[in-house]
Chain A
Amino acid sequence: MSVHIAFSGGLEDLFNKQRNLTVPLESQLTLKQLVFHLKDRYLQTRPELFMSGDSLRPGIIVLVNDMDWELCGKDDYVVQDRDAISFISTLHGG
């Protein structure tokens, strides 16, 4: 299976300026596990801007198929084949 990942709001700068990624997955992951996977395999710089402790940094909004992840279980959501998952940072200047 694979998922489509989009970064915006400045997060793309941490992932080699890539705004879109297709990420193949060998097993089913929760969103929390996916965040670790992205950090371990794709993040290029400044992990502290992506994660804080063992979870996603507060202030990053996640959309699962264009729906707020707070409506679908957040960390515990089980990622499905071909999901489109967006990570949007809110922390950059207004």
Chain B
Amino acid sequence: MIKSCELCGIEKPAIKRPKTGQGICKPCFFSAIENEVHETIISSNLFHPGEKIAIGASGGKDSTVLIHLLDLLNKRHNYGIELHLLSIDEGIVGYRDDSLVTVKRNQEVYQLPLTIVSYSELFGWTMDQIVKKIGLNNNCTYCGVFRRQALDRGARMIGAEKIATGHNADDIAETVLMNLLRGDHFRLGKSTDIVTGEEGDMPRCKPLKYLYEKEIVLYAHYQNLDYFSTECVYSPNAYRGYAREFLKDLERIRPRAILDIIHSGEMLSVSAPAPAKMTCERCGNVSSNKICKACTLLETLSKP
């Protein structure tokens, strides 16, 4: 058993870092996380002074840590960016309504503006109504496609230049695996990018790209951050679930596996041509087809 922190040699160790295997104390852990995210932001040139950044805020652990870190680092290192919380209300009673209460509490804590956009105002349907109509098959597809567009539209509504999301290293490694298993070359090539959508009008970035889920959860725990953790009431995405379990099993044997998968993704050169970007003929949003995915799905809902 390690007696003292392997970095400062003084305090009692609190966490074994998956990345390095070192046992470090809470203060050293906090500095390491904060410095590493700052490094990522600077080396990838994520933000520019004067920009308004919409933070995708779900109330969950990742977005709560993202809000905390961006607020802290923006003040500490004078990024000169304006932060605005953006939440999507999918209309899932017993799940999203509760998590939005958590977002509102954090809005108070950090004193940041919050905008909530709902599926019902944007698409005319709540997820509860969609599930009533189509059942528990494929409902995650609707939710995913709608959320993507809702974040874009919400960010435009508040005048943001960019969206920041709380995706962590585990999420990205998981997506690499899923795209590999599906043979989705185009997405595989992009899945490790820290900034995506630069060709469109609303780029997205992932400042927590290199943080392990374990680190995010323990950072939130040791900092006493207020986050919401309940499973969505509708069946979780089964395919992603398998990829996630597989990754967690790998991580138990060899924690570096998660970062190594990300590095493999980064080194891949994918020859698949990017699908042409156009605007949807129906709603005018960014699309890779004449009619965007959201409008196509909406059409299926309108059929009796």
Q: Is the CB of B251 within 8 A of A9?
A: no
Mostly, the A contact residues are loop
The interface centre, meaning the residue of B62, B167, B218, B222 with most chain A CB atoms within 10 A of its CB, is B218
Query: Which residues of chain A have C-beta atoms less than 8 A from B167's C-beta?
Result: 94
Question: In the complex, which range does the number of interface residues on chain A fall in?
Answer: 20 to 34
Q: What is the CA–CA distance of A8 and B217 in the complex, to the nearest angstrom?
A: 11
**CB closest residue in chain B, given A68:** B15
Query: With an 8 A cutoff between CB atoms, is A43 at the interface?
Result: no
A66 shortest CB reach to chain B, Å: 7
Binary flags per residue of A18-58, CB closer than 8 Å to B gives 1, else 0: 00000000000000000000000000000000000000011
Instruction: Find A71's partner among B16, B61, B216, B221 (CB 8 Å cutoff).
Output: B16
Query: Which residues of chain B have C-beta atoms less than 8 A from A66's C-beta?
Result: 14, 222
Q: Is the CB of B229 within 8 A of A9?
A: yes
Q: Is the CB of A88 within 8 A of B221?
A: yes
Q: Is the CB of A61 within 8 A of B217?
A: yes
Instruction: Find A94's partner among B12, B61, B231, B251 (CB 8 Å cutoff).
Output: B61
**CB closest residue in chain B, given A94:** B62
A and B contact pairs by CB, cutoff 8 A, 18 listed: A9-B217, A10-B229, A59-B244, A59-B245, A59-B248, A66-B222, A68-B13, A71-B1, A71-B2, A71-B14, A73-B1, A88-B217, A91-B244, A91-B248, A92-B230, A94-B63, A94-B171, A94-B216
Q: List chain A positions with a Cβ less than 8 A from chain B.
A: 8-10, 13, 57-59, 61, 63, 66-68, 70-73, 86, 88-94
The 7 closest A-B pairs by CB, nearest first: A94-B62, A58-B248, A70-B16, A59-B248, A92-B229, A94-B60, A68-B15
